[in-house]
Amino acid sequence: MVKVHHHLGEFEDPLNNYEPVEYTDALERALVEETIAGIQTRPYVEISPDHSVYRALQVLAGLRISSLLVVQAGKLVGVFTERDALQRVASRYREIESMRVADVMTCHPVVVYETDPAATALGAIVAAGYRHVPVLDLHEQVVGVISPRRVLAFLQDRHRQQREPKD
């Protein structure tokens, strides 16, 4: 270990004996070293928490998607999904034109940051039990959404790259 003498005392560099991690394959390396920014996070659709649930359901059905990111003043405030519609809205169907998205959305959703390791995306989906997890930048701005399908596409791409012959 390298010791540096300083007027405040000796300093030993804790990274002096650092051994780089050796990965068993490209998938393991991709999950640990690549960030979520490498996973497709777009397209995604935003809706205001003040919109009616009726409007949110129209958007979901019209675009054939299963989740909306609920954004107010540029900040993520929740997620509205098919699951929310089934669990919180279906029994109150007659009220959907007057019911606000804010009343039935998932508040404080699990999020990941685009700078997090790619493995974090998979962990968030599995641990939280959500199919769609919002992705934020370091300024808390929405940059997209990840899903199992998008993470799988990322892994398949890295697997394909590993199998392709090197020039």
* pLDDT tens, position by position, 94-117: 888 899 999 999 999 999 999 999
User: Could you tell me whether strands 67-72 and 46-47 are parallel, antiparallel, or unpaired per DSSP bridges?
Assistant: parallel
Across 2-11, 18-27, 121-130, least confident range? 2-11
Locate the domains of the chain by residue range: 25-163
Under CATH, what is the fold of the domain 25-163?
CBS-domain (3.10.580)
User: What predicted TM-score, i.e. pTM, was given to this entire model?
Assistant: 0.81
- Token pair, residue 23, equals 């990965």
- Token pair, residue 109, equals 């959703």
* pLDDT tens, position by position, 132-146: 999 999 999 999 999
* pLDDT tens, position by position, 39-81: 999 999 999 999 999 999 999 999 999 999 999 999 999 999 9
DSSP codes joined into one string, 142-161: EEEEE-HHHHHHHHHHHHHH
**Residue (of 138, 131, 73) closest to 112 by Cα position:** 138
Task: Tell whether omega for the bond before 148 is within 30 degrees of 0, i.e. cis.
Answer: no
